Structure 1
Amino acid sequence: MTAVKPFAIEVPDEVLDDLHRRLDATRWFDPLPGAGWEEGTDLDYLKELCRYWRHDYDWRAVEAQLNLFPQYTTTIDNQRIHFIHARCRNPDAMALVIHHGWPGSITEFAKVIEPLREHFHVVCPSLPGYGFSGPTSEPGWTPRRMAAASLELMSRLGYDRFGAQGGDWGAMVTTQMALQAPERLTGIHLNLIIAPEPPPGSVRDLTDEERAALSEGRTRNLAERGYRVQQATRPQTLSVGLNDSPAGLAAWIVEKFLVWSDIGPDNDIEASFTKDELLTNVMVYWVTGTIASANRLYYETRIGGRGASAPDRQVEVPTAYARFPGDGIFPARPWVEYWYNIVRWTEMPRGGHFASLEAPDLYIDDVVATFGELGQS
Structure 2
Amino acid sequence: MQDIHITGGAMTRFGRHPGVLAPELAQQAILKALADAGVGVGDVQAIYCANVLGGMILGQLVVRDLGFRGIPVYNVENACASGATAVHLARHALMAGQYDTVLVFGIEQLTALGGGTIPLQRNDHKTELYARAGMVLPAVYAMRGTRFLHERDAQPADLAAVAVKNRHHGSLNEYAQQRSETTIDEVLASRMIADPLTLLQCCPSQVDGAAAVVLSTRTDRVATRPVKLLSSVVVSGLRERADDDILDAEITARAAAQAYEQAGVAPSDVDVVELHDAFTIAELLYYEALQLAPRGDAVALLKSGATRLGGRVPVNPSGGLLAKGHPLGATGVAQMVEVMWHLQGRAGTRQVAGARIGLTQCTGGGIAGVDHAASSVHLLGV
TM-score by length of 1: 0.29
Higher normalized helix content (fraction of residues):
1
Question: Whose RCO is larger (CA < 8 A, sep 6+)?
Answer: 2
